[in-house]
Amino acid sequence: MAQNIYDDPEFLAGYSRIPRQVLGLEGAPEWPAIRALLPDLRGKRVVDLGCGFGWASRWMREQGAASVLGIDISQSMIARARADTADPAIEYRIDDLDTLSLPDQRFDLVYSALAFHYVADFGRLVRTLRGALASAGQLVFTIEHPIYMAAANPHWISGEAADQRGRKTWPVNGYAMEGERRTDWFVKGVLKYHRTLATTLNTLIDAGFRIQRVSEFAPTPGQVQQTPSLAEELERPMLLLVSANT
């Protein structure tokens, strides 16, 4: 069973205060890049994996999705999603992506934001998703970029260890050594799983997916002008966005 850090009260309190949870989808700087990967949602049957508070599930219904199934391991998040949703075409379910089972050919779109890096057996999950997608179905997901999460102690390096222009540097080490990574984020010991970019993409190919688009998110000049703190995201890729078809 996956680590359920999101039901830790201390973690949830901190997580609930970040902009993407206070402001919803518009608080996520990568959201415009994600929207560009999504198909026309009208009439689509969608499953939203790691749905959290249900922001994307509700947005997809607003765009015309026929139905949305939101799945998350966190009881606290599902409770909040249910409380914030008044739409009988959206269903929320508590489940673990490490042991997830879905009916065959039931969905037209599988969507997931920042959840798959918590999954130990990515291959098993991808095969499950491939079977759950109908003909011409699509998978769109985001994860922490393998470069971002490879290091055992990921953090900005500044001062003498940075380059001569004083820019911050992000450490990349242990990149080819896939497996567990434990980091401190609101609480100590948050468990994630590092996989190389090649492993991530080849796992999709091996399961029968056709990769349509890959994006390594970086903010636009306009976003940096509006939110100067985003400039550091130009120094290293934090997020990987992938679209694949059956």
- Domains of the chain are 5-245 (3.40.50.150)
Do residues 237 and 218 lie in contact, with contact meaning Cβ atoms separated by under 8 Å? yes
Residue 2's pLDDT is what?
67
> Residue range 148-168: average pLDDT?
76
Residue 168's pLDDT is what?
84
pLDDT at residue 236 is higher than 70: yes
pLDDT at residue 163 is higher than 60: no
Model confidence over 89-142: pLDDT tens digits? Answer: 999 999 999 999 999 999 999 999 999 999 999 999 999 999 999 999 999 999
Name the more confident of 168 and 241.
241
Residue type for position 241: L
Residue 24's pLDDT is what?
81
Rounded mean pLDDT of the chain? 91
Q: Helical H runs in 30-189?
A: 31-37, 55-62, 75-83, 122-132, 146-149
Instruction: Band the pLDDT of 23: cuts 50, 70, 90.
Output: confident
pLDDT at residue 31 is higher than 90: yes
Residue 159's pLDDT is what?
61
Give first-to-last CA distance, the chain, whole Å.
28
Q: Regarding beta strands 133-144 and 239-245, do their DSSP bridges make them parallel or antiparallel, or are they unpaired?
A: antiparallel
Nearest-5° Cα angle at 132, 119 to 190: 10
pLDDT at residue 3 is higher than 70: no
pLDDT at residue 186 is higher than 90: no
What predicted TM-score, i.e. pTM, was given to this entire model?
A: 0.92
Nearest-5° Cα angle at 31, 203 to 50: 55
> Residue range 171-185: average pLDDT?
91
> Residue range 195-216: average pLDDT?
98
> Residue range 6-12: average pLDDT?
74
Residue 165's pLDDT is what?
62
